[in-house]
Amino acid sequence: MFRLVGLLIGYFIGCISTAFIMMKIMKVDLRKHGSGNLGTTNALRVLGLKAGLTTLAGDILKCVLAFFILMQMYPEEGILAGIYAALGTIIGHNFPFYLNFKGGKGIASSLGMLLSLGIFFSPWLVIVPAGIGLSVVAKTKYISAGSITGAILLPLTAFALHMPTEEFLIILFLGVLAVYRHKENIGRLRSGTENKLSVHKKAK
């Protein structure tokens, strides 16, 4: 039962799209600018630094919130309950029902899961994927390259840390999902047409 509860609670929390809220506040439809994605990177590029950082914080915090809620509800299940909530949150973020199932790519929300696992499982789950992912962004200026790197390293790090099987399989699924959500970015990276990190003023 806790698995279903975690998925449902996580999904509806995940459906709270910070980027959508910010675009309504700033009266700029992100779906018609930049990549058209309702995520942190597009908010940063189109709406500016403040809106982008607010979107990042909101998307991280909603996954942390869902993770903690389920761990409080089912303490005997440990991190497994939290991971199911994180899974639901990331799915809700990526596929919100009221936005025609077109949301973000789940990287910021995945970072919220990593921060939670860093507290309750191992800090290496934050240090390795997030640390190396950010290093790739700093070196290449491609946010997508860092996101993909982190998504690949996440299940590898979890495996190296001997994460229990069910928890690991969910982490593996989320890593694969994140890479899949970046399939267009991968094509642009290969062709040399991917946009580098930039911050613009609010679009007109």
Quick one: pLDDT at residue 200? 56
pLDDT at 44: 87
User: Could you give the maximum distance between any two Cα atoms of the chain, in Å?
Assistant: 51
3-state secondary structure of 109: helix
Q: Do residues 55 and 64 make contact, with C-beta atoms less than 8 angstroms apart?
A: no
Comparing CA positions, the residue from 64, 73, 59, 62 lying closest to residue 6 is 73
| 95 DSSP assignment | S
Kindly report whether the global pTM for this prediction surpasses the value 0.95: no
Residue 97: pLDDT over 70: yes
The answer, yes or no, to whether residue 201 has pLDDT greater than 60, is: no
Under the banding of pLDDT at 50, 70 and 90, the label for residue 162 is very high
Number of neighbouring beta carbons within 10 Å of residue 136: 20
For the chain, the average pLDDT equals 92
pLDDT of residue 4: 97
pLDDT greater than 80 at residue 122: yes
Domain edges within the chain? 2-191
Q: Where do we find the tokens 């390259």?
A: 145
Ramachandran angles phi, psi of 200, nearest 5°: -115, 165
| DSSP 8-class letter at 106 | S
Q: Which of 37, 35, 31, 50 is nearest to 202 (CA)?
A: 50
Give the pLDDT confidence of 31-81 residue by residue, as tens digits.
888 878 888 888 988 888 899 899 999 999 999 999 999 999 999 999 999
Q: What is the 8-class DSSP label of residue 98?
A: G
Measure the CA–CA gap between 89 and 11, rounded to whole angstroms. 5
pLDDT value of position 191: 93
pLDDT exceeds 70 at position 82: yes
DSSP annotation of 100: T
pLDDT more than 90, % of the chain: 77
> Which pLDDT does position 204 carry in this prediction?
47
**137-156 residue pLDDT tens:** 999 999 999 999 999 999 99
The pLDDT confidence band at residue 110, using thresholds 50, 70 and 90, is very high
